[in-house]
Structure 1
Amino acid sequence: MLLYLSIFTILISFVLLYHNWGLNKNAIYLTFVFILTSIFGIAHYLITSGGSRFWLAIFYNNFAALMFLIGPFLYFYIRNTLTDRYSLSKKDWLHFIPTLIAFIGSVPYIFQSFDKKLEIADKIIQNPDIIEEIDVNIFYTMGQSFVFRCSIAFLYLIGCIYLLWKLYPSETKEKQIPKNQLIITYRWLIILITNLSFIFVSFILLAISSEHSVPSKTINDGQVLYIIAGLAYSIMSFSLILFPEILYGIPRRNEAVTPKKKKVKNKIAPEEDPFFDMYKAILKYLEEEKPFLNPDFSVSDIALYLKAPQNHVSYCITYLMETKFSKLKSALRIKHALELLKKGSNSLLTIEAIGKQSGFKTRSNFYAAFKEETGFTPTEYINNEISETIR
């Protein structure tokens, strides 16, 4: 399970990176957090129950130095997301020092022959307790490395929680930020940090246990902690699917700010939103192409025409047009039907035919939508128009 989950997370990380590259490069940091935690999960699986000497030789300790980057990358992602930037300052490079030290210490192990690594893998498979005797780093043992990595990651997590609290926009600043985007971002960050908290705390406890017992006993005694960490890791990975705005890309907030701000009932005007240009493109497409006249018209038709992710189109309809797609589609069709009726098309076409020309598949659907939109049935509307004309 852990192996498949780790592979799935790596795949979804590349989806995240691909769709966010042009919109928000902070996704690079989040992608590395997911990939590195996945590599850690794969390595742990191979040690405890993998049984593959080849893959264990590849994953065991070769990527250990990179695990020190999980904390810094998480910190960069959350800080830059909350402050609307993606570049690193000169001071930020200090965060890479533990990784550099770990890499230098691992050089003798990393660059030894693969045959030697296969021998080490065989020994670990036969007896996991042999891990304590393997020289993986010239500065510290594998057990100490595990403690250092978990401790550093946990400290960064605490720093991220502090940032989330400290950088929450004040009432004044909140008015200058697209509200829906702010809500989506904070919900996602809270879920991300909550799940990482369970994972990091679980491994901190395992790291403490490893200092007082042999690896095999730590593995056996830590099954509950493994389950907790596994559940949290599962939720963290699959939560991206619940936040398509994050997975498929949402621009940085400052790219949406325009010189003139128009307040509408204490809400940020649509032109303040990162997707305002797409919102205008959708309106133009609906007005000029009238795709809603096709009975099978769907959100995917708009996405294909604009060559944009479907969730971006859904975002524009839900938050900028402030309606549901079904209601938008129905309203546009009824508007078209009213135009036909006003032109006198009912004298040439039956009401059912007007409904079909407006995109409705059945007469009953047309009548129901017409009644909901105008308060009249098509027949009542026509009779009312005739009465008004006679008067």
Structure 2
Amino acid sequence: MCRNNFLPTLAQMLIWNNQMIGEFLLLITGCLGLLITTILLFHRRTNSLVNFYLLFILLYVSIFSLLKSSYHLGIQEFINQTTFGYKRLSLFMFPSLFLYFNRIITDTSKWNVADMLHYVVPVLFFMTVQILEALGYLSSVVIGIFYIFYFFFILFYLLLSIRLYQGSFLSKHPYGKHVSITGRSAKNWILFLLVINTMLCVRVFVIICMDLYHGTLSGFENGIWLWATIITAIFVKLLISPEILFGSKALQKRLKMNLEKTNKIIVLDVWRLEKPTEFNNKQDELLSVKVHKSLIDKIQAIEGVVLNKKLFRNSNFDIHMLAMEVKLPKSHLTFIFKYHCELFFPEFKKMLQIRDAESLIDQGFLKENTIDSLSVTVGFSSYNPFYTAFKKHTGFSPQNYVKQ
């Protein structure tokens, strides 16, 4: 008899311990999230990877984690998950994540009123649940229907985000602002968020299935440790990625340090080292064997010339001049920029020029010179093309960049 009573007690203790571990992890996650959100907020003007939508998502997740964990751990007893219905605001995260991707990929910095249409359904959902709860009509059947709606809503925005990613980053030569700034790092960041979003969607689906099977309504409380782990992964990713946390200036500093240490590495983050599997013509397919055999050496030669000699400061600098400098056939360079670089040569040159301009600004070039002089120094023939390229690659006009 005692043994029969002991087993359920042991199971309850294990469940309680898992819940407590999850709550402690949530508490740490919330504190870490507020710290990182504050850092992003202070660097938002010079960080093109940060916009209102990302800040909203991180701030909501941080506050939610803090409020929930502090209540269940007994740190505070005033605000629980039903207070103000703040838990239901999680529905706003998923269109926000899609809009975050969209604004970066489409190089949109201005506020778009049409974006607010994505929040109509979450607002109606939130108000409906609040009203039904106040009137006492929030039965288990109604909650079950809301559960299913919740899942299909986040699945819809997950699919939209994946489609946007495929159309922008998996095409042969994506030209989003995102790629031109941080290349592979940015793509990996977007892909990472998509994986996180997918995991959250799967978690919701599993919980709904379990609740429907057992005939209970857990309120998505099951597997809270998994939620905490997933959210913690986001903040850890930000901590170990200075180019995302602090913006392009941090990336420039890291690239400069790498270049000073050795010329034996690939510094720029726009290269594709994998061997292409599809070619536009037979000639390219035959040439790939020669190019890929010593691809890294060729890329290092390109970087050594353009970064050390700063040939891009010559407005007439073209791929033919580069071929003569690196002593490679022009056909090899054309192939490399076609199949192994995320940017065609003209865009590659502009990227180098804008990074050079950022570096000069940070060194105080504009204290004694004008922006027109800066544009000519880095290799542009006039101010207008410099302005357009600068805003595309940094997300800011030269004047606004200087003010930061």
TM-score computed with the length of structure 2 as normaliser: 0.51
> Which residue number corresponds to residue 150 of structure 2?
149
Point out where structure 2 has 5 or more consecutive residues left out of the alignment.
1-24, 250-312, 323-336, 338-344, 369-404
CA apart distance, 1:243: 1.8
Counterpart residue type for residue 15 of structure 1: I
> Which residue number corresponds to residue 246 of structure 1?
244
> Which residue number corresponds to residue 41 of structure 2?
17
CA distance in 1, matches of 2:225, 2:359: 44
> Which residue number corresponds to residue 216 of structure 2?
214
Aligned length: 252
The match for 2:58 among 34, 41, 59 is 34
CA apart distance, 1:87: 3.6
CA distance in 1, matches of 2:204, 2:39: 28
Counterpart residue type for residue 187 of structure 1: N
The match for 2:90 among 63, 67, 72 is 67
Per chain length, whose mean CA-contact separation is higher, i.e. which structure has more relative contact order (CA < 8 Å, sep 6+)? Answer: 2
Counterpart residue type for residue 18 of structure 1: F
> Which residue number corresponds to residue 345 of structure 1?
none
User: What's the secondary structure of 1:102's corresponding residue?
Assistant: helix
| Residues 171-210 of structure 1 mapped to structure 2, 5 A cutoff | 171=172, 174=175, 179=180, 181-210=182-211
> Which residue number corresponds to residue 358 of structure 2?
278
Pick the structure with greater CA Rg.
1
Change (3 A) 1:250 1:230: same
| Residues 48-197 of structure 1 mapped to structure 2, 5 A cutoff | 49-51=72-74, 54-57=77-80, 60-87=83-110, 89-105=112-128, 135=136, 141-142=142-143, 144-168=145-169, 170-171=171-172, 174=175, 179=180, 181-197=182-198
Instruction: Note the alpha carbon deviations across 1:41-66, whole angstroms, 9 max, x for none.
Output: 4455467x434673434764522442
> Which residue number corresponds to residue 269 of structure 2?
none
CA distance in 1, matches of 2:81, 2:139: 20
Counterpart residue type for residue 233 of structure 2: I
CA distance in 2, matches of 1:72, 1:261: 45
CA distance in 1, matches of 2:42, 2:176: 31
> Which residue number corresponds to residue 396 of structure 2?
none
Change (3 A) 1:283 1:40: closer
Counterpart residue type for residue 56 of structure 2: F
Counterpart residue type for residue 277 of structure 1: A
User: What's the secondary structure of 2:28's corresponding residue?
Assistant: helix
Change (3 A) 1:154 1:170: closer
2:211·2:217 contact (CA, 8 Å) conserved in 1? yes
Change (3 A) 1:63 1:227: closer
CA apart distance, 1:24: 3.4
Point out where structure 1 has 5 or more consecutive residues left out of the alignment.
113-133, 252-257, 289-391
CA distance in 1, matches of 2:139, 2:111: 30
1:20·1:247 contact (CA, 8 Å) conserved in 2? no
Change (3 A) 1:20 1:199: same
Change (3 A) 1:175 1:74: closer
Change (3 A) 1:136 1:71: farther
Q: CA RMSD in A?
A: 4.1
Counterpart residue type for residue 201 of structure 2: F
Change (3 A) 1:183 1:141: same
CA apart distance, 1:13: 1.6
TM-score computed with the length of structure 1 as normaliser: 0.53
